[in-house]
Amino acid sequence: MGNEVSVFGGKVDIADMKSLAQRAQVSASNTARGGAPGGSDYMNFSGKRGVYTIGQEKRRIENDERWVVDITSFEEGWVCWKGGQSPSSRMANIYNGVPIPQPDPDELGPFDTQKGDGWFAGKAMVLKSCDEDQQGYFKINSVSGVSSMSELMEEFAERANAGLPAWPVVCLDMEEFESQGFKNFKPIFDVQGWLSNEQLQELADGADINDLLEAADDSTEPDGMNPPTKEDKPKAAAKPAGRRRARA
């Protein structure tokens, strides 16, 4: 049997059914009822309270928990909000996904724009906790949140282009700001260090994250280069070594 069929009025390539299955699975996860990709738990950030939670049990994420970012998982697309709910989310991997066109403003409407309804540009990524046995899918569509994730992606791109270790280990923090007279919070991805491909594998094999970050700090950068930094970004305060404090 050949690799093409014509039952649908035109030839369809069926050479790689596993690839078709994977793409269908990804597409299915973008429906309102779909799960987070890769078996991850959904992560949530409240811009009104400045609080991160993860999973159905809504475990609160403390700001000293370390997470390694899957740089291959970056997504962008569009998120719909209507009546305080998100009936649709269309995201695609920036490396191998098909770019998502901007939806028609009236699709799934009518919207009450005064209440923040409508379609919004979004970004997403997968993170693995270094301190807990949990992996999360973080998606954000606020202007401040998308900006914070864009900064992290830019730092990754600069390091990868320079041949530097480029897997970020971050703590999830927040920053307060005021908008239209109301107090809000924006997510901050507080970079603790960068791992090489080899160190990432060591982490997967059970190496201690503190040892890996210390080794990353002591390593010599190629060609005498220093990691790129932003002059207007203050150096993050050091987080406590070892595992995080026990929660009540």
Look at residue 23 and tell me if it is in a domain. Answer: no
Return the pLDDT at 12: 47
Return the pLDDT at 96: 82
Look at residue 196 and tell me if it is in a domain. Answer: yes
Return the pLDDT at 16: 58
Return the pLDDT at 4: 56
Look at residue 55 and tell me if it is in a domain. Answer: yes
When divided into structural domains, the chain yields a total of: 1
200: pLDDT strictly greater than 50: yes
Segments forming the whole domain that contains residue 139: 36-223
Q: How far apart are the first and last CA of the chain?
A: 62
- Average pLDDT of the residues in 91-99: 86
Return the pLDDT at 159: 95
Tokens of 219: 């390593």
Look at residue 8 and tell me if it is in a domain. Answer: no
Average pLDDT over the chain, rounded to an integer: 80
- Average pLDDT of the residues in 2-31: 52
Look at residue 20 and tell me if it is in a domain. Answer: no
pLDDT of 150-188, one tens digit each?
Answer: 999 999 999 999 999 999 999 999 999 887 778 899 999
3-class secondary structure, 93 = strand
Return the pLDDT at 136: 96
207: pLDDT strictly greater than 50: yes
pLDDT of 22-65, one tens digit each?
Answer: 655 555 544 433 457 777 999 999 988 999 999 999 999 999 99
| CA–CA distance, 77 with 166 (Å, rounded to integer) | 24
Look at residue 119 and tell me if it is in a domain. Answer: yes
- Average pLDDT of the residues in 78-82: 94
Q: 126 and 137 in contact (C-beta within 8 Å)?
A: yes
Return the pLDDT at 24: 58
Best CA proximity match to 62, nearest among 125, 134, 123, 122? 134
139: pLDDT strictly greater than 90: yes
Tokens of 151: 């900064």
Return the pLDDT at 107: 92
Return the pLDDT at 22: 60
| CA–CA distance, 8 with 100 (Å, rounded to integer) | 26
Return the pLDDT at 208: 96
Report yes or no on whether pTM surpasses 0.75: no
Look at residue 174 and tell me if it is in a domain. Answer: yes
Look at residue 211 and tell me if it is in a domain. Answer: yes
Give the DSSP letter of residue 55: T
